[in-house]
């Protein structure tokens, strides 16, 4: 199979490297707006590269494209690719406006075309394990989830900082972390409240902090706290493991998932995933810590952001004529939650999901 990459920056390069490991991928054509990047793609990754979008879209021997461009380009590239008859994998967030995200889903549905969005945490062992526990009934009904996420500031001058190119922090960075509770709880959100304090990162137009609370139709409640800026500036040492370098310096990403029969807790930087089981004793309800999983640093990628298995699965699905693992309509529901949180933060009031279409 021949595969195209549209907008091949850092994420595009990651996908190219995954594709290069897949036996049925015979050729890769990477496209990017910037001519110096096109040159770099040829030299560093040994792939065919071009700035000409039509060269990829008009290639009848190329059935699948990955849209890994900056967020403001997702909608147009996806619509053009769908019109050209391609199967499309588009990175999250779907688009910088909800109307554009809806156009993408509708275009795919009208054609019966393959469109999958890059929520690779649904392939990541840390989170699939919690889903397996939930599906096996070990947690009972999930009633509460809490995610705490703290990171250092984005650098100056990148497209993510601006609304016109990045959309919002919620879509760009936090969409994964509202997609997960939706997936685990298996119910739809009815209302959301979110609040943002003034930014501490002075050069960012998008918000750098959120408290967001979602209420689901099942009665479950999900809370997300996000803080950017105070975690120690991470410059990265290529000789040390990236997760180990960020432990205890303010970087944090963790989940608590509380159900009626048990609970789970994931600590990404601590490489821990734990499960509790409840019971009944004469004097109290009991909770016993029954599983404590960890993993080798070499497996971080599979536990944390498993884009590798996502890429392999998408190629396999397109090759076999199968539908996406998660329909684009489902990803659109997660995008509605992101836009609802921004709307609630802007208005300073609870937003009912029925208002956000």
Residue 13 structure tokens: 């390069």
Instruction: Tell me which DSSP letter residue 232 carries.
Output: P
Answer for which of 70, 194, 206, 328 binds ligand NAD (CB under 6 A) is 70
Stretch that binds ligand NAD, among 9-17, 22-30, 252-260, 328-336 (CB under 6 A): 9-17
Cβ-Cβ contacts under 8 Å for 234 (sequence gap 6 or more): 152, 245, 246, 249, 251
Question: Considering beta carbons, is residue 81 or 351 the nearer one to ligand NAD?
Answer: 81
Are 32 and 57 a contacting pair, CB within 8 Å?
no
The site that binds ligand NAD (CB under 6 A) totals a number of residues, namely 21
Question: Considering beta carbons, is residue 80 or 102 the nearer one to ligand NAD?
Answer: 80
CA atoms of 270 and 251, how far apart (whole Å):
11
Contact call for residue 80 and ligand NAD (CB under 6 A): no
Question: Considering beta carbons, is residue 4 or 118 the nearer one to ligand NAD?
Answer: 118
CA atoms of 151 and 154, how far apart (whole Å):
9
Stretch that binds ligand NAD, among 40-48, 63-71, 217-225, 230-238 (CB under 6 A): 63-71
**What are the strands of the beta sheet with 142-151, ordered from one edge?**
285-293, 272-280, 262-267, 252-259, 142-151, 221-228, 209-216, 189-195, 351-352
Stretch that binds ligand NAD, among 55-63, 69-77, 134-142, 294-302 (CB under 6 A): 69-77
Among the listed residues 353, 355, 357, the one whose alpha carbon sits nearest the alpha carbon of residue 192 = 353
User: Which x/- pattern, by CB under 6 A, does the window 158-197 give for ligand NAD?
Assistant: --------------x-------------------------
Contact call for residue 101 and ligand NAD (CB under 6 A): no
CA atoms of 169 and 91, how far apart (whole Å):
15
CA atoms of 77 and 94, how far apart (whole Å):
11
User: Which residue's C-beta sits nearest to ligand NAD?
Assistant: 9
**First CA to last CA distance, the chain:** 37
Stretch that binds ligand NAD, among 70-78, 108-116, 214-222, 292-300 (CB under 6 A): 70-78
Answer for which of 18, 80, 86, 92 binds ligand NAD (CB under 6 A) is 92
Tell me the closest approach of the beta carbon of residue 119 to ligand NAD, in angstroms. Answer: 7
Answer for which of 57, 65, 71, 179 binds ligand NAD (CB under 6 A) is 71
| Three-class DSSP category at 351 | strand
Among the listed residues 168, 257, 270, the one whose alpha carbon sits nearest the alpha carbon of residue 209 = 168
| Three-class DSSP category at 9 | coil
Answer for which of 29, 62, 105, 120 binds ligand NAD (CB under 6 A) is 120
- Verify cis geometry, omega within 30 degrees of 0, for the bond prior to 218: no
Answer for which of 7, 259, 262, 324 binds ligand NAD (CB under 6 A) is 7
| Three-class DSSP category at 85 | coil
Question: Considering beta carbons, is residue 76 or 291 the nearer one to ligand NAD?
Answer: 76
What is 90-105 written as a DSSP string? EPSSS-SSHHHHHHHH
Answer for which of 68, 116, 168, 311 binds ligand NAD (CB under 6 A) is 68
Stretch that binds ligand NAD, among 29-37, 138-146, 193-201, 345-353 (CB under 6 A): 29-37
Cβ-Cβ contacts under 8 Å for 238 (sequence gap 6 or more): none
Contact call for residue 266 and ligand NAD (CB under 6 A): no
Residue 164 structure tokens: 């016109």
Instruction: Tell me which DSSP letter residue 192 carries.
Output: E
Which residues 276-315 are close enough to bind ligand NAD by CB under 6 A? 305
Q: Which residues bind ligand NAD (CB under 6 A)?
A: 6-7, 9-12, 32-34, 37, 68-71, 73, 91-92, 118, 120, 172, 305
């Amino acid at each position: 199979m021949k595969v195209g990459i549209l907008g091949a920056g850092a994420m595009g390069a990651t996908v190219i490297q995954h594709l290069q490991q897949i036996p049925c991928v015979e050729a890769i054509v990477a496209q990017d707006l910037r001519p110096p990047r096109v040159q770099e793609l040829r030299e560093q990754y040994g792939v065919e590269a071009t700035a000409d979008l039509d060269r990829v879209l008009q290639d009848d021997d190329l059935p699948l494209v990955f849209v890994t461009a900056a967020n403001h380009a997702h909608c147009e590239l996806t619509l053009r690719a769908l019109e050209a008859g391609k199967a499309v994998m588009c990175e999250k967030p779907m688009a910088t406006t909800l109307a554009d995200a809806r156009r993408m889903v509708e275009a795919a549905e009208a054609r019966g075309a393959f469109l999958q969005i890059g929520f690779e945490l649904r392939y990541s062992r840390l989170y699939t394990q919690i889903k397996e526990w939930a599906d096996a009934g070990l947690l009972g009904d999930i009633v509460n989830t809490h995610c705490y996420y703290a990171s250092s500031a984005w650098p100056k001058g990148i497209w993510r900082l601006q609304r016109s190119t990045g959309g919002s922090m919620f879509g760009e960075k936090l969409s994964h972390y509202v997609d997960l509770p939706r997936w685990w709880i298996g119910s739809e959100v009815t209302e959301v409240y979110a609040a943002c304090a003034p930014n501490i990162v002075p050069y960012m137009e998008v918000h750098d902090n959120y408290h967001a609370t979602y209420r689901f139709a099942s009665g479950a409640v999900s809370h997300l706290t996000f803080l950017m800026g105070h975690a120690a500036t991470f410059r990265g040492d290529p000789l040390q493991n990236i997760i180990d370098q960020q432990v205890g310096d303010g970087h944090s990403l963790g989940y608590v998932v509380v159900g009626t029969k048990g609970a789970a807790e994931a600590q990404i930087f601590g490489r821990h995933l734990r499960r509790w089981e409840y019971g009944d004793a004469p004097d109290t309800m009991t909770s016993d810590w029954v599983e404590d999983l960890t993993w080798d640093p070499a497996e971080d990628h599979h536990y944390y952001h498993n884009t590798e298995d996502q890429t392999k699965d998408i190629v396999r699905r397109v090759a076999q004529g199968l539908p996406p693992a998660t329909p684009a309509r489902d990803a659109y529901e997660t995008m509605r939650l992101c836009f609802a949180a921004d709307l609630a933060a802007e208005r300073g009031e609870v937003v009912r999901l029925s208002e956000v279409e």
